[in-house]
Structure formats: structure tokens, C-alpha cells
Amino acid sequence: MKTLLRLATAVLGVSAVAGFDIVRDYSGQNFFSGWDFYGGWDNLTLGDVWWLDQSNATTQGLAYVNSEGNAIIKVDNTTNVPLGQKRNSIRITSQDVYDLGSLWIIDVNHIPYGCSVWPAFWTFGPNWPQDGEIDIIEAINVMGNNQMAIHTTSGCTHGSQNQLGTTIGTDCSLPAGCVVAETSPNSYNSGFAAAGGGVWATQFDATGIYIWFWSRPNVPTSIAQANATSSVDISQWGTPHASYLADTCNITQYFSPQNLVIDITLCGDWAGTQWNYNASCGNSGPTGLCYNDCVVGPGSPRYDEAYFDISYIRAYTTGVATSSSTATATSAGASSSPIGITAPPSGSNSQGSSGASRLKSDSRTEWGILISILSMVIGALSIS
């Protein structure tokens, strides 16, 4: 596998580019092509949702492209859920995987929020936790701000502070992971949407993992003026809001190529634990219990704000090795790959979480990974 990665690097590295070239644009009517829908209950974070398969999601109107061309991903707010049953929601995983050297930009107009609601936009490698996890957007209930995090096996810590956010955890192998709290205003809850939404950019690099957030009024022109085919220049973005530097966490060692995930669960291991639920929502219902007070009963108005409204997600690559180390660098994300990089989500809820861990693991085989890499190379070649 290592050999193949290096081969991929060699093949893709020949065309050096300034900035980041786009390899995949998820937007408009094509937003939902290239994702797998989970199709099962949330057995990963033990939330009180049933994540629909694609046909039910479409039929029930929980995943669609609206008249403005934005992707809507939402919790069911039309069903009166009886005690003992779960509420329908969505979890989608990108079929493409993205290697070191990638950059992901998500432009969002609305993030799900409200008591019991736990949304996330995040990434993970097929064999969790060995392959690492990056949480880009993640918050619960009526928290005031977004939290970023990485999760790894032991030996990766968050040491250097070259970032605007506030470090909360420094051992990335602990259940909560290396959490960095956003300190810029309007990164979650009603304030986010009221400000017109915002943009997150994540650079997944051998030198480190860097996450930026801009509320709508502050989105840089390099992003605001980018389109579905242009490259993007990150040189004027300034200090990231979260920086995980390779000097205390060997990114090449702790992270494999990553799948992107968008999901919304309800209650579960983080939002629904009694302490967390009580802290922000405990007085909002008759029982003080997340499931009983929120999930059961009518969906509206309780879940009227429990939706993502996404303008686009774009994946970029430098196309060149980004470090002097053994960085495998380069792209993934074959936009028209003939080989499906499908990784049916399965998972193990191996940790009791006290934080933001997404608790996931995928059991993709080495062979599957091999095929993925090959298809990435083929896809990348067919683009250029």
C-alpha cells in the first residue's frame, strides 16, 4: 500500500501548480452524487435517529436540492414519533477519499441546532481510530460556538498554539480528542445563520492539519470569487482557527486518506448524556431527558432549525508533495472515477465519550484501499 501511495505521488506530482487545484465540486443538482447514505440506526454514537437510505431520504424530503440550488440535509420535523421509536435523519459519506495535500472548503448557510441536535461535518479514515479523524463542524444542543477536533491513536498530541481558537484537549487519543473551541462569533446556533452562514476550510497536510472559519461578512475574496472550476490561493488566509502541527503529531503516521461525512444525530453519546443535556437544555422539557423531551412527539417546531443548507463542498489538492518528509501528498477525489470507492459504513462504538468523538470505524479491506488508490490515480489522470 505504501508503495502504491508513493506511485500515486510520483504520477500526480509531475504537474506542479500554484495554490490548490479543484478535484471535486459537490454542488447544485449534482450535490448528492458521490455520497453513500448510511441506511441504519445510529449505532455509532447511539443517537435516537434512523439514518435513512438514499431512496427513503429522497422520498421523505430529508436530502434534496432546493430552488436556490443549495443542498438541504435535515432531521424529520413532520412526524409525531411514538415513545420507543427513533426519528429519521441523514448521514452521508463521500465515496472519494482524500489524501495528504488536500484542502476542503464548505460553504454553509445554515447549521442544525436546537436541544438534542448534534450535527457534524467531519472526516475519517477507513480503519478507525488508526486512520484518524478530523472534526471540522461539530456542536450540540444550543452551544454558542463550533468545536474543531482531531482524533487519533496514542502518541499524537496538540502542542503548538499557532491558532486563533482555544485548545481544550491536548491528547488526541482521549475520547474527547484534541478539541479547539472556536472563538470568532457566529460559528454555531442561531447566530451563524443570522450572519448569513459562513465558510470552513481545512488543509490536510503532512506539516499539519489547519482549519479556518469565516462568518459570511469575513469570507476572503479568494473563496468568495472562486467557482466550481477555479483553483484557490490560500496565502492570504492568515492564522488558522485550529492548527495541529506535525511536530507533536506526525500527520503522515496518524492519518490515512480521509472520507468526508455529513450527519445529524439526536441525543446520543454527547448531546444526550445527562450532564451535557442538562447543562444547556435540562429545563426545556418535563422529564429532563433528551430522548423523552425532544425526540418523542411532534417534530415541529422543535426540529425546524435542524437542517444543513449547503452551497457547496469543494475538494482541492496541491498536486505536489507539501513537505520534505515522506509525505505521500497529492490528490484523491477522482471526480469521474469509474471505480466506486464504496465503503459501506459500519462502526464500533468502542468508547464512552465525554466529548466530541464521532466514534466510528469502517472495516474496509486492504484490497479495497488498493482499489481506492488506483481509482484515484485513474481519476486524477482523466481530469488532467
Ligand X SMILES: *[C@@H]1O[C@H](CO)[C@@H](O)[C@H](O)[C@H]1NC(C)=O
Is residue 233 a contact residue for ligand X (CB under 6 A)?
A: no
| Nearest to ligand X of 221, 338 (CB atom) | 221
Q: How far apart are CA 236 and CA 164, in angstroms?
A: 15
Q: How far apart are CA 180 and CA 172, in angstroms?
A: 11
Is residue 183 a contact residue for ligand X (CB under 6 A)?
A: no
182: annotated active-site residue: no
* Count of residues making up the chain: 384
Residue 28 DSSP class = G
Cβ proximity of 99 and 111 under 8 Å: no
Q: How far apart are CA 75 and CA 299, in angstroms?
A: 9
Q: How far apart are CA 233 and CA 240, in angstroms?
A: 15
Is residue 297 a contact residue for ligand X (CB under 6 A)?
A: no
Q: Which residue's CB comes closest to ligand X?
A: 288
Contact region with ligand X (CB under 6 A), list: 98-106, 122-130, 148-156, 271-279: 271-279
Cβ proximity of 172 and 180 under 8 Å: no
- What distance lies between CA 265 and its chain's CA centroid? 14
Is residue 272 a contact residue for ligand X (CB under 6 A)?
A: no
Measure the N-to-C terminal CA separation of the chain; round to a whole number of Å: 24
| Residue of the chain from 274, 365, 382, 384 that contacts ligand X (CB under 6 A) | 274
Is residue 40 a contact residue for ligand X (CB under 6 A)?
A: yes
| Residue of the chain from 30, 78, 130, 170 that contacts ligand X (CB under 6 A) | 78
Is residue 130 a contact residue for ligand X (CB under 6 A)?
A: no
| Nearest to ligand X of 165, 347 (CB atom) | 347
Is residue 275 a contact residue for ligand X (CB under 6 A)?
A: yes
Smallest distance from ligand X to CB 206, Å:
8
Q: How many residues bind ligand X (CB under 6 A)?
A: 29
Please tell me which residue in 68, 133, 305, 366 is annotated as part of the active site.
133
Cβ proximity of 51 and 40 under 8 Å: yes
Torsion angle in degrees (nearest 10) through CA of 264, 350, 156, 177: 40
Is residue 227 a contact residue for ligand X (CB under 6 A)?
A: yes
Is residue 365 a contact residue for ligand X (CB under 6 A)?
A: no
305: annotated active-site residue: no
Is residue 53 a contact residue for ligand X (CB under 6 A)?
A: yes
| Residue of the chain from 52, 62, 115, 232 that contacts ligand X (CB under 6 A) | 52
SS3 state at 282:
coil
Could you tell me the sign of the dihedral formed by the alpha carbons of 68, 200, 123, 294, in that order?
negative
| Nearest to ligand X of 89, 375 (CB atom) | 89
| Residue of the chain from 27, 77, 147, 259 that contacts ligand X (CB under 6 A) | 77
Peptide bond preceding 175 in cis form (omega within 30 of 0) = no
Torsion angle in degrees (nearest 10) through CA of 46, 50, 54, 55: 170
Is residue 346 a contact residue for ligand X (CB under 6 A)?
A: yes
Residues that bind ligand X (CB under 6 A): 39-40, 43, 50, 52-53, 56, 77-78, 227, 229-230, 250, 252-253, 274-275, 278, 282, 288, 300, 304, 307, 325-326, 346-349
Which positions are annotated as active-site residues? 133, 138
